[in-house]
Structure 1
Amino acid sequence: MPLNLLLSLHDEVFEALIADFLVFCNYEVRAAYSQQDALNYCQNDNFDMAVIDIKEEKDAQFVEYLLAIKPELDILALIHEGVSNDVIKSLRLPQEQLLSLPAPLVSILEAIKVANESRQNEKLKSLTPVTIGSLCIDKQNATASVHGVPLTLTVTEFTLLDLLADNLNAPVSKDEIYPKVLGRPRGQFDRAIDVHISSVRHKLHQLHCDDICIESVRGVGYRLCKQD
């Protein structure tokens, strides 16, 4: 089945050129001629990947909104010349999902293929349960256990624990957690994730999961750590 791609670029001529090229390469393509159209399309249709060009900070915010609507959506960001490193870092995308412009069409095609291969590898990884000390996470079935005893979690709590486990020993910012776990950007004075963290900690403690802990990282977010 061909990949279903969403294009949202500033230059309509460039967008039409890329769309025609990708259709020729047997991709399903829908071009959005405004960022609002792209958001609407994401709400009503399923896409494997969105190709977005980045010129300024508001484009990075647009990417954040897209991921809030569809956290599972892959993004290929085409970076225009002169975009600051701060804006690029704010995208929080893997290096293989960033491509500097100008770039030939074949380079854009190759970047799409690389990003898709990374997605498929992640899917394969999800088939194998992950064990961290006494905690076992089964991504395929969205279940977890401690010392072999089922850990009763809500969907949100499982997604949160799974995200922290994927970043074992590394802090995960609240700005990253909110879109991936709650499907929306973090609001001002928003404590929703703190409440879910408290619940997960309590449930781990009830099952005597003493060899891992969820640490608060001041000014950043949370980190899952394995105790020695």
Structure 2
Amino acid sequence: MHSILVIDDDPELAAMLGDYLTPEGFSLRITGSGLEGLSMLGSGSFALVLLDVGLPDTNGFDVLAEIRSRSQMPVIMLTGRAEDVDRIVGLEMGADDYLPKPFVPRELLARIRSVLRRSRLTKTAAAPHSGRQITIDDLLMDRSARSVHCNGEPVVLTFAEYTILEMLLDAGGSTVSREDISLRALGRELAPYDRSIDVHMSNIRRKLGPTSGGGERIITVRGAGYFYHFTDSPAPEATGAGAFIRLPGGLQ
């Protein structure tokens, strides 16, 4: 049975989550306080955190930042705000997924199972590749340790970010489609107007920085997906259907 920590001050929502998730094999510990939730994390063992953005004693983003400073435990943000910027900020700060309120309980269950499955697969995927390392210029991915170093420094990635980077490196310079990334890294089919992949990709680019030669590591291919640029030479200027572009707001 998976234990889930719910940090949300809405008693009706908490009751609904208990009624719906408990029969599905989940045990819940619930608190309406962000500070108490952080304390509970230090004293308990949880598979996942459901975290509300709006809390009475602290900001949900601050709680997320503190969780990320401690561990890579899967976190799904719950937000009652309609603005896309709140969801994007959550993903940028390391949330594994988000769900706007109000939501259908069945969709939340699907998101929880998807994130937990993704987390489990990422942890166990190292076994078949035990000892295997991928080295490209100043980037080192060690599958056995599920770690990434860039220019000799450790890079902290979320489960989704690590999976995306691994997919790009495994592709050996070939383009990986957004559909494939969504299915494997996010555990769901690609939805129209969903910018989650864009945000995760932007996070990876920011964390890795440019190559030692000053070029971009990850190239966006319009209408196709992304590929990792394996050389230090400037990426060729693509044209037509294969052109790569830079999207507004720093997202690519």
* In structure 2, C-alpha distance between the alignment counterparts of 1:124 and 1:100, rounded to whole Å: 30
* In structure 1, C-alpha distance between the alignment counterparts of 2:75 and 2:143, rounded to whole Å: 22
* In structure 1, C-alpha distance between the alignment counterparts of 2:98 and 2:65, rounded to whole Å: 15
Q: What SS class does the counterpart of residue 102 from structure 1 fall into?
A: coil
Q: How many residues align?
A: 176
Matched, 1:110 2:110: yes
Does structure 2 retain, via aligned residues, the 8 Å contact 1:60–1:87?
A: no
Instruction: Write the letter of the residue equivalent to 1:15.
Output: A
Alpha-carbon distance change, 121 to 173 in structure 1, aligned in 2, over 3 angstroms: closer
TM-score by length of 2: 0.54
Does structure 2 retain, via aligned residues, the 8 Å contact 1:7–1:50?
A: yes
Q: What SS class does the counterpart of residue 59 from structure 2 fall into?
A: helix
**What is aligned with 1:227?**
231
Alpha-carbon distance change, 64 to 142 in structure 1, aligned in 2, over 3 angstroms: closer
**What is aligned with 1:160?**
155
Instruction: Write the letter of the residue equivalent to 1:110.
Output: A
**What is aligned with 2:61?**
60
Q: What SS class does the counterpart of residue 103 from structure 1 fall into?
A: coil
Matched, 1:4 2:7: no
Cα drift, residue 21 of structure 1: 2.3
Instruction: Write the letter of the residue equivalent to 1:132.
Output: T
Q: What SS class does the counterpart of residue 122 from structure 2 fall into?
A: helix
* In structure 1, C-alpha distance between the alignment counterparts of 2:86 and 2:33, rounded to whole Å: 20
* In structure 2, C-alpha distance between the alignment counterparts of 1:109 and 1:72, rounded to whole Å: 20
Q: What SS class does the counterpart of residue 35 from structure 2 fall into?
A: helix
**What is aligned with 1:131?**
134
Q: What SS class does the counterpart of residue 20 from structure 1 fall into?
A: helix
**CA RMSD of superposed structures (Å):** 4.2
CA shift digits 1:6-46 (9 cap, x unpaired): 00112022112212322222112211231111010111222
Q: What SS class does the counterpart of residue 73 from structure 1 fall into?
A: coil
**Any gaps of 5 or more consecutive residues in structure 1?**
145-152, 178-196, 198-211, 218-223
Once the two structures are overlaid, the 10-residue window that deviates more, 93-102 or 11-20, is 93-102
Matched, 1:85 2:84: yes
**What is aligned with 2:178?**
none
Instruction: Write the letter of the residue equivalent to 2:41.
Output: C
* In structure 2, C-alpha distance between the alignment counterparts of 1:4 and 1:142, rounded to whole Å: 24
Cα drift, residue 143 of structure 1: 8.3
Alpha-carbon distance change, 61 to 6 in structure 1, aligned in 2, over 3 angstroms: same
CA shift digits 1:39-60 (9 cap, x unpaired): 1011122211001122489222
Alpha-carbon distance change, 24 to 162 in structure 1, aligned in 2, over 3 angstroms: closer
* In structure 2, C-alpha distance between the alignment counterparts of 1:214 and 1:3, rounded to whole Å: 45
CA shift digits 1:57-88 (9 cap, x unpaired): 9222222222223x221011122143x22222
**What is aligned with 1:35?**
34
* In structure 1, C-alpha distance between the alignment counterparts of 2:112 and 2:202, rounded to whole Å: 28
TM-score by length of 1: 0.59
Alpha-carbon distance change, 162 to 86 in structure 1, aligned in 2, over 3 angstroms: closer
Q: Percent sequence identity over matched residues? A: 12
* In structure 2, C-alpha distance between the alignment counterparts of 1:132 and 1:36, rounded to whole Å: 41
Alpha-carbon distance change, 138 to 87 in structure 1, aligned in 2, over 3 angstroms: same
Structure number with higher relative contact order (C-alpha < 8 Å, ≥ 6 residues apart): 1
Q: What SS class does the counterpart of residue 10 from structure 1 fall into?
A: coil
**Any gaps of 5 or more consecutive residues in structure 2?**
170-200, 217-227, 233-252
Alpha-carbon distance change, 225 to 75 in structure 1, aligned in 2, over 3 angstroms: same
Within a 5 Å distance, the mapping from 1:165-176 to structure 2 comes to: 167=165, 172=203
